[in-house]
A and B are shown apart, each in its own frame.
Chain A
Amino acid sequence: MEFKKKKLANGLNLIGEVNKSAKSAAVGFFVKSGARDEPKQINGVSHYLEHMLFKGTEKLSAFEVNEAFDRTGAQFNAFTSEENTVFYAAVLPEYLVEVTGLWIELMRPALRDEDFNIEKNVIKEEIAMYKDLPSFDVMERCRSLHFDGHPCGNSVLGSGESIDNLTAEQMRSFFVRRYAPNNMVLACAGNFDWDRICSIAESSCSKWQRQAAGRKLEPYGGSKKKERVEKSNLAREHICLMSPCVPAQDPRRFAASLLAVITGDDVGSRFFWELVDKALAEAAAMQFGAMDGTGTFCSYIRCSRENVPKVLDTIRDIFRSLTESGVTDDELKKAKNKILSALVIKNELPMGRLIDLGFNWIYLEQYRTIEDDISAIRAVTVDDVHSLIEQFNPGDFTQLSIGPSQDSS
């Protein structure tokens, strides 16, 4: 593995990890643009923009873009979160230069009115689709309740109303601010020729104009509010719990990941043994979500309406015991083994490696080898986990549930 980096004069960061023994290569643009960067009136614009980048450039139509990707057999797509938009592709090594060139072209899209109008329908269908997925709906509503006005609570998809009112002109102006070279990282991983990637990036991206992008990192404590939403077509109760935790830049993020695995991994965790194994809930999981300048513990539980009181009591007991008695050496050891094997397996694929490489640069401006992460996980002690619990008590949470009408159970 060999790490390479270069920063263009306009601020665009190029990074790569070359692994000549890989059978494939992956490339991605990581853009610091997400729901938290959006003014309320244009909420959803980052995600909509992600769709619009596939609609082509002054030279390429949407169909020609799709054709160009498919000719290389690329596995390609994009995703948008509260704070990042990521465009990626995994390909056979011989196609990496071509696909990188294509992504570079697409980063300067035409954003045509007619494409914008057709795609608005697709965005509204996507919003409707997620409304029919209560496990997603409950988390988005809980995030909004938890962040309570803080931009991290903004919806990634936006609402039907914000999307209806959004204009192509507003999108173009947002694009200029956020897709500035100094707000983006171009990353490659796997089997590829660094010099060639560098030279096409230099010749094509150097003309991109630097902008004042930036992001305000406002502190928050979490609302701790508790709410329930009724939906008559639902059969089960979907519960989401959220509490604050350390940000992506904090070295304690490794202890936070371990605590989430101990508490709520899908098998073998405290949630698993107390809730799922005993058939009180059919799903119960907790995750650590590291973000720019902030972080969350987020749990999702699904159960029958009648089991809700018992489930919530059990969860309170689990969190109380974490605060009062902490975690055991044995629990920590098992959690480390799980995280370490997941890390090794994920990073064996160039596509998996690309994601870690890109996010480490986005959040830390740092290259971390897999061994760096392995050592950091191994080094976490029971005391580290305990001091994290003391500072960020996960039992002090915001709670949002969605379920059937009270009288229909």
Chain B
Amino acid sequence: MAERLDKHILKNEMVLLGEPMEAVESVAFGFMLPAGAAQLPDGCCGAGSVIADWIFRGAGDKSSRELGDALDGLGLHRAGGVGSSHISIGAALEADNLAQSLDLYADIILRASLKEDQFELARQLAIDGVLALDDDPRQKVMLELRERFYPSPLGRSALGHIDELKALTAESTKAIIKNNFNLSQTIFAVAGKYDFDLISRQMEDLFITDHPQARPPSADSLEAATPAQAVANLSPRKRGYTHLHNDGAQVHIGLMTETVKPTDEDYYNARVAVSVLSGGMSARLFTEVREKRGLCYAIGARYHGLKSAAGIMCYAGTTPEKGQETLDVIIGEFNRLIEGTSEEEIERAKVGLKSVLILQSESSSSRAGGIASDYYMYGRVRSLDEIKGKIEATSVDSVLGFLRNNKFTDFTVVTIGPKCLK
């Protein structure tokens, strides 16, 4: 696994990263633009999803329809979304069409038409997306959970809130784009089949600017500060238990508890611990909740990390009469971790984590996403060998040591369904 990493920094300070892959004909690329939900001014929750739509509604000399047709004509499979820190836009495609695609994406980022009539349509779709959440309680419970677990604004819903979406105007949204589409804070990543020298020259021409933009004040600059300062500047969490009523067939349970951040020295111990809890089908939650008790079909936990806060996030869906027992068994399993784990459990957790890493390394989209988020999180890209080594280095003792120093004392719980728990 001696993968190569290409890196070039443009004159405007935008970072270009690349990971060449043998044996693929495709390429995937992505731009991470510093305009995620937590980066936006207060009262604009959801502006990110409006922006991610609006910038595609015409750019450069192309109308919305012409731009869409041009992207489709290149066979692009568009990917992207709005996260806590960034808006990501990009695509996977056949390698020969990369240069033409980058021309179009430069127009989208630098010269989006941003017409008022198109703004109204983008905003309406964003509002509809929030309304449709009521018909998808499983997704809604996890969004509500994040908002309550993370200190504000880190857990803000990327989909937004209806009242704040309604208050947005084309002008206020344009101002956000102007402030937040900061090229010096933008990360570009490419993986698959490409020529990095060609890309670097093309990107230098496409993204030429007179001088680097000033960095606007945002939650991200808080994130970049020392952890103590960062936490002091964030609003406290609204933790505890919240129930939202819905006359559906199941009660949807979301649960989250604090753990170490991706940059913490105990990060890999935390990942292995979560894997013991919910890595594979022999992991504890699946075994205890589904296999032994038949309480749920869907049950699982995963690590969820931002730059300045992280948690272990768990979802379970069950019929209302089994809701309380399900929640009790889940919390019991979180707490039982500290009582000890076997060598075999740790070994399975480690093999599972390493296997996922290598299987994902065959996909150009996964790699492009992986190197970009690594650069944002760590300021560098971890090699697969480094990650593999860190996973290998964990042990029963190191995982237990981590668990003893980071006890699960506080759970944020949200349920949606016909019946409240507790």
Q: Which residues of A contact B (CB under 8 A)?
A: 21-24, 54, 62-63, 66-67, 69-75, 90-92, 118-126, 128-129, 131-135, 232-236, 238, 267-268, 272-273, 276-279, 282-283, 302-304, 330, 333-334, 337-338, 340-342, 344-345, 348-351
Contacts and interface: CB of A to CB of B under 8 A. Distances in A.
A341 B26 contact: yes
Interface in B271-302: 279-283, 286-287, 290-298
A333 B75 CA distance: 10
Contacts of A75: 355-356, 359
Contact of A349 (B57, B68, B94, B362): B362
B249 interface: yes
B358 A92 contact: yes
Contact of A128 (B78, B134, B319, B355): B319
Given A66-B286, A70-B283, A125 B297 contact: yes
A71 B364 CA distance: 27
A121 B322 CA distance: 11
A233 B280 CA distance: 34
A128 B249 contact: yes
Given A121-B294, A232-B247, A92 B355 contact: yes
Contact of B297 (A122, A278, A304): A122
A276 B71 CA distance: 17
A279 B128 contact: yes
A131 to B, nearest CB: 4
B282 A333 contact: no
Contacts of B92: 341, 345
Interface string B54-83: 000100000011001101111111100000
Contacts of A131: 248-250
Contact of B26 (A92, A238, A348): A348
B137 A132 contact: yes
Nearest to B129: A282
Contacts of B287: 63, 66
Interface stretch (B8-16, B218-226, B344-352, B396-404): B344-352
B136 A133 contact: yes
A140 to B, nearest CB: 14
B344 to A, nearest CB: 8
A338 B77 contact: yes
- Interface core residue of A123, A272, A334 (most chain B CB under 10 Å): A334
A303 B127 CA distance: 12
16 contacts: A21-B23, A22-B362, A24-B358, A54-B281, A66-B280, A118-B291, A132-B248, A134-B135, A233-B246, A233-B248, A234-B135, A282-B132, A283-B132, A334-B72, A337-B74, A341-B77
A4 B356 CA distance: 28
Contacts of A338: 72, 75-77
Contact of B282 (A63, A128, A342, A344): A63
B358 A23 contact: yes
Contacts of B136: 133, 135
Interface residues of B, number: 74
Interface in B29-59: 57
A348 B362 contact: yes
B250 A70 contact: no
Contacts of B362: 22-24, 348-350
Contacts of A134: 135
Given A125-B296, A128-B250, A74 B355 contact: yes
A71 B279 CA distance: 11
- Interface core residue of B280, B348, B365 (most chain A CB under 10 Å): B280
A334 B73 contact: yes
Contacts of B279: 70
Contacts of B125: 276, 279, 282
Nearest to A342: B77
A340 B94 contact: yes
Given A66-B281, A125-B318, A268-B72, A344 B26 contact: yes
B25 interface: yes
- Interface core residue of B124, B137, B282, B317 (most chain A CB under 10 Å): B282
Contacts of A283: 132
B24 interface: yes
Contacts of B319: 124-125, 128
Interface string B293-315: 11111100000000000000000
Contact of B250 (A125, A235, A304): A125
Contacts of A345: 26, 77, 92, 364-365
Nearest to B124: A279
Given A63-B287, A344-B25, A268 B131 contact: no
B25 A70 contact: no
A125 B281 contact: no
Given A123-B297, A129-B249, 11 more contacts: A22-B23, A63-B291, A75-B359, A122-B296, A129-B298, A135-B135, A233-B247, A236-B128, A268-B72, A277-B68, A349-B362
Contacts of B317: 125, 128-129, 132
A24 B366 CA distance: 15
A73 B281 contact: no
Contacts of A120: 294
A75 B63 CA distance: 44
Contacts of A91: 355
A404 to B, nearest CB: 9
Given A121-B295, A132-B137, A273-B65, A235 B24 contact: no
B86 interface: no
Contact of A70 (B77, B252, B291, B348): B348
B93 interface: yes
B358 A69 contact: no
Contacts of B250: 125, 128-129, 131-132
B361 interface: yes
Contacts of B292: 118
A90 B74 CA distance: 31
Q: What are the 5 tightest A-B residue pairs by CB atom distance, in nearest-first order?
A: A73-B355, A121-B294, A337-B75, A341-B75, A70-B280
A70 B73 contact: no
Interface string B241-269: 00000111110100000000000000000
Contacts of B99: none
- Interface core residue of A69, A72, A235 (most chain B CB under 10 Å): A235
A71 B363 contact: no
A69 B280 CA distance: 9
Given A133-B136, A273-B65, A340-B75, A348 B296 contact: no
Given A24-B362, A268-B69, A62 B291 contact: yes
B251 to A, nearest CB: 10
Contacts of A235: 131-132, 134-135
Given A91-B355, A133-B138, A345-B77, A71 B348 contact: yes
B121 interface: yes
Contacts of A21: 22-23
Nearest to B363: A349
Contact of B78 (A129, A267, A337): A267
A90 B297 contact: no
Contacts of A341: 26, 75-77, 92-94
A289 to B, nearest CB: 20
